[in-house]
């Protein structure tokens, strides 16, 4: 399939006379067989709990993760069923005719609530592995962030220390999708149902992190609004619909919602560090004068919240 920025797998569309699917070949060296089995195990758990997800096929010998050797390298691959529906981008970001967009945001919150409710009973199988997202971000920082970027390091450490002070319990912390956005789900345009896929980044984190991800993924709906106050009103309305959908499935305390700015800052940091990783691996070097990187560095160094969405240019 055509690659997009940040893509970390090779994907092929496959069709037979009876079925079709997507073959995902893992090319990252840091994704082991144990990691992949943990991902598949989580997807199967969600499916068993009634969450709409794209499930993997099982081979004739009972395997969901298989291996192929090519030029003396071994690659793991999984064949996933095609998710029901279409992506928003394929519909020109137009929602169901006659249905308000707030219903879509409600459904986003609802499916995240379903994932997190199912996560409360998820148990990692022996021999399977998934990472803790905060630990992964620490590794990224030590690997790709230059030590002379002192202010950025201090701000990142402050954010992570604030997160580490939060409680971890089955109601607030567990396995999450890890990369929620409209590129990783399809919508059934007959009823609005969302089907999630691409659990490649799933890991352990606070559930509020994923709700903040839904906020972050919604910025595209307001980015062309020039009036900053109106932009904030629109984002508040979107988030209110997400929270309403989430609360239709499981509780979400107001104290958690009040921590939204902290989690958005963490998502900003997570994206920044992973972008450094991606550019380092694909380009061999990192141009810190790049405008996109400069903008996010500015937000981190100056404690600018909400990705600078409500800041004057």
Overall average pLDDT of the 262-291 stretch: 94
- For the stretch 13-24, pLDDT in tens is 999 998 999 999
CA-to-CA distance for 196 and 115, rounded, in angstroms?
A: 10
d(CA 122, CA 37): 14
More confident: 59 or 312: 59
pLDDT per position as a tens digit, 66-83: 998 888 888 999 999 999
| CA–CA separation, 176 and 212 (whole Å) | 12
pLDDT per residue as tens digits for the range 151-201: 999 999 999 999 999 999 999 999 999 999 999 999 999 999 999 999 999
Q: Which fold has domain 86-308?
A: Aminoglycoside 3'-phosphotransferase; Chain: A, domain 2 (3.90.1200)
Read off the pLDDT of each residue in 277-303 and give the average, rounded to a whole number.
94
Nearest of 205, 196, 212, 200 to residue 246 by alpha carbon: 212
Supply the pTM of this predicted model.
Answer: 0.95
What phi-psi label fits residue 287: left (phi over 0), alpha (psi between -120 and 50 degrees) or beta? Answer: beta
**CA nearest 208: which of 308, 109, 140?**
109
- Using DSSP, state whether 311 is helix, strand or coil: coil
Q: Give the chain's radius of gyration (CA, Å).
A: 20
How many whole angstroms separate alpha carbon 208 and alpha carbon 205?
Answer: 8
Instruction: Compute the 3-state secondary structure of the chain and give helix, strand, coil in percent, each to the nearest 5.
Output: 45, 15, 40
Collapsing DSSP to helix, strand or coil, 203 comes out as strand
CA nearest to 272, candidates 221, 234, 226, 308: 308
> Where do the structural domains in the chain lie, given as residue ranges?
86-308
Q: In 3-state terms, what secondary structure has residue 85?
A: coil
* Alpha-carbon gap, residue 56 to 65, rounded angstroms: 9
């Amino acid at each position: 399939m055509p690659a997009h920025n940040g893509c970390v797998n090779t994907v092929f569309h496959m069709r037979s006379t009876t079925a079709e699917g997507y073959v995902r070949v893992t090319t990252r060296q840091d994704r082991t067989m144990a990691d992949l089995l943990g991902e598949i195990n989580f997807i199967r758990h969600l499916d068993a709990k009634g969450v709409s997800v794209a499930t993997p096929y099982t081979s004739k010998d009972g395997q969901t993760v298989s291996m192929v050797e090519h030029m003396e390298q071994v690659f793991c691959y999984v064949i996933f069923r095609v998710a029901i529906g279409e992506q928003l981008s394929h519909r020109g970001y137009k929602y169901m005719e006659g249905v308000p967009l707030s219903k879509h945001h409600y459904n986003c919150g609802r499916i995240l609530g379903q994932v997190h409710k199912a996560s409360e009973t998820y148990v990692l199988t022996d021999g399977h592995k998934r990472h803790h997202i905060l630990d992964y971000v620490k590794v990224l920082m030590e690997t790709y962030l230059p030590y002379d970027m002192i202010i950025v390091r201090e701000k990142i450490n402050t954010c992570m220390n604030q997160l580490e002070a939060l409680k971890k319990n089955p109601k607030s912390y567990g396995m999450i999708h890890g990369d929620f956005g409209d590129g990783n789900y399809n919508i059934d345009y007959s009823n609005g149902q969302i089907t999630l896929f691409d659990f490649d980044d799933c890991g352990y984190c606070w559930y509020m992190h994923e709700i903040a991800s839904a906020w972050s993924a919604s910025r595209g709906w307001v980015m062309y609004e020039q009036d900053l106050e109106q932009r904030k009103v629109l984002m508040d309305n979107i988030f209110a619909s997400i929270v309403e959908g989430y609360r239709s499935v499981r509780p979400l305390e107001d104290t958690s919602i009040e921590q939204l700015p902290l989690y958005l800052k963490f998502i900003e940091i997570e994206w920044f560090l992973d972008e450094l990783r991606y550019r380092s691996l694909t380009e061999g070097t990192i141009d810190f004068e790049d405008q996109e990187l400069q903008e996010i560095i500015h937000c981190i160094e100056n404690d600018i919240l909400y990705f600078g969405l409500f800041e004057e240019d």
